[in-house]
């Protein structure tokens, strides 16, 4: 069972097994949505597949803290940043025990929402090597089922895109290995964005105290030895299809684009009770896996400017577009500098609110109270026009990825009586 650590981290009381036969089309998604952020689900009987399905592993932030061996938010940021700054090469071992299957349709690939373009794999970690430097990248991508030997892959202009274009310039296909289901630290590492040239598996190994073991697949690509499903293939350099519609982190449908096609050469399945992992689009663990590493990046930069107490990509802001940052304010102007630094650390951010450390960043009412009692719009709002933003925001220019951004200083002015801004208490 490659998910060797999930029961201990999630807790057995937080796991529900569903034994009844469940359809891949919408029905499984309904169960996952019902228990979103509440319970980890294991489906024992998915129609059309002999494999078990698992979902809702990252139920809340505390799961991430446990995976990182941290007691609180700031400690977890420090541990993740340390792992990215101090990657450690894992040990390579002989290939493990795997069986082969012939068709993608044998897997419990789901259709989640009514307008989805097709069935989707949402938890796939794609591994590829730079053809010039040999650097290996790992990143999480959605994969749209096309037929039993082909998938469409959504690639944004980041590291895999860079590798893919190096192969494409030479009219070559990009060899890849895809993993579905492995150690939870590998998922966190694959969701991060360390500098190009830092292998996310080395980051995961540091998180795991150098216990991660790797195996070699094709073209010298390395993947975790404890992997449930390994799909070997290549991204074709000259084949594109319409990808989507797909419900992304905002809960709205991302636009349909021409995206590359993957040709599948081989599908390996662990012989030790494999679980096919699926992440509910726009669900809690989608937001946590995408948003949490960006929170750490924001904390890393803003903590050099001010005494940062908490960073939160808010649920209402899709855990991607809106942030609330609490600080222990020492000087006027600090909140503005924090706002600008946050936009630099996470370019997809659209709004940043900076609050004092007496405000609970997880309580929208508390944040709104700070806006109501500590903000003068003419003085405390910063607006930036035509900035680089997120393609996921339907109100933006999703093709050019241009947006307007705003920051709000919702902190108490230092030249006023602080007691006038504090909530009254009954002794």
Residue 22 is classified by DSSP as B
Beta carbons of 64 and 188 less than 8 angstroms apart:
yes
Left (φ > 0), alpha (ψ -120 to 50) or beta: where does 171 sit? left
Question: Measured in whole angstroms, how far is the alpha carbon of residue 307 from the centre of its chain?
Answer: 26
Q: How far apart are CA 64 and CA 303, in angstroms?
A: 21
Which tokens hold the place of 344?
């630099």
Q: Could you identify the residue written with the tokens 């726009």?
A: 282
Give the angle subtended at the CA of 80 by the CAs of 78 and 85, to the nearest 5°.
90
- Do residues 100 and 268 make contact, with C-beta atoms less than 8 angstroms apart? yes
d(C-alpha 101, C-alpha 264), whole Å? 12
Strand segments (E) across 5-97: 15-18, 40-43, 52-55, 91-92
What is the DSSP track for 306-367? SEEEEEEE-TTTTTTTEEEEEEE--STTHHHHHHHHHHHH-TT--EEEEEETTS-TT-HHHH
Question: Coil, helix or strand for 109?
Answer: coil
Q: ∠363-30-272 over CA atoms, to 5°? A: 100
Catalytic residue among 248, 254, 356, 380: 248
DSSP label of 32: H
- Whether 409 sits among the annotated catalytic residues: the reply is no
Instruction: Choose among 205, 270, 260, 194: nearest CA to 231.
Output: 270
In 51-196, where does DSSP find H-type helix? 61-68, 73-85, 159-169, 184-191
3-state secondary structure of 295: helix
- Report whether 256 contacts 228 (CB < 8 A): no
User: Which residues have a catalytic role annotated?
Assistant: 248
């Amino acid at each position: 069972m490659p998910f060797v650590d999930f029961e201990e981290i999630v807790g057995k009381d937080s796991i529900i097994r569903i034994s009844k036969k469940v359809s891949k089309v919408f029905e499984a998604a309904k169960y996952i949505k019902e228990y979103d952020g509440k319970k980890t689900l294991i489906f024992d009987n998915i129609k059309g597949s002999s494999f078990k399905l698992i979902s809702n592993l990252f139920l809340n932030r505390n799961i991430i803290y446990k995976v990182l061996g941290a007691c609180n938010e700031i400690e977890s940021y420090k541990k993740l940043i340390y792992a990215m700054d101090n990657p450690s090469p894992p040990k390579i071992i002989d290939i493990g025990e795997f069986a082969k299957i012939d068709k993608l349709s044998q897997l419990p690939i789901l259709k989640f929402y009514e307008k989805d373009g097709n069935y989707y794999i949402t938890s796939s970690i794609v591994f590829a090597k730079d053809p010039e430097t040999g650097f290996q990248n790992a990143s999480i991508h959605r994969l749209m089922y096309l037929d039993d030997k082909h998938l469409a892959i959504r690639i944004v202009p980041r590291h895999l895109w860079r590798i893919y274009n190096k192969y494409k310039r030479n009219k070559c296909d990009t060899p890849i290995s895809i993993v579905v289901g492995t150690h939870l630290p590998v998922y966190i590492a694959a969701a991060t964005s360390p500098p190009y040239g830092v292998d996310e598996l080395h980051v995961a190994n540091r998180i795991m105290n150098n216990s991660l073991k790797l195996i070699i697949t094709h073209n010298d690509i390395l993947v975790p030895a404890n992997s449930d499903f390994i799909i070997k293939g290549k991204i074709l350099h000259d084949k594109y299809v319409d990808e989507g519609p797909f419900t992304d982190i905002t809960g709205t449908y991302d636009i349909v684009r021409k995206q590359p096609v993957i040709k599948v050469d081989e599908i390996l399945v662990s012989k030790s009770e494999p679980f096919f992992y699926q992440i509910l689009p726009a669900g809690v663990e989608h937001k946590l896996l995408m948003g949490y590493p960006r929170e750490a990046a924001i904390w890393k930069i803003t903590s050099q400017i001010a005494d940062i107490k908490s960073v939160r990509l808010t649920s209402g802001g899709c855990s991607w577009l809106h942030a609330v940052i609490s600080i222990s304010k020492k000087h006027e102007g600090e909140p503005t500098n924090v706002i600008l630094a946050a936009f630099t650390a996470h370019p997809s951010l659209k709004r940043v609110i900076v609050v004092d450390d007496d405000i609970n960043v997880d309580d929208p009412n508390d944040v709104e109270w700070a806006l109501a009692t500590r903000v003068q719009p003419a003085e405390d709002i910063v607006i930036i026009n035509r900035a680089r933003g997120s393609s996921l925001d339907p109100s933006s220019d999703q093709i050019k990825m241009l947006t307007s951004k705003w920051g709000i200083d919702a902190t108490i002015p230092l030249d006023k009586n602080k007691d006038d801004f504090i909530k009254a208490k009954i002794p």
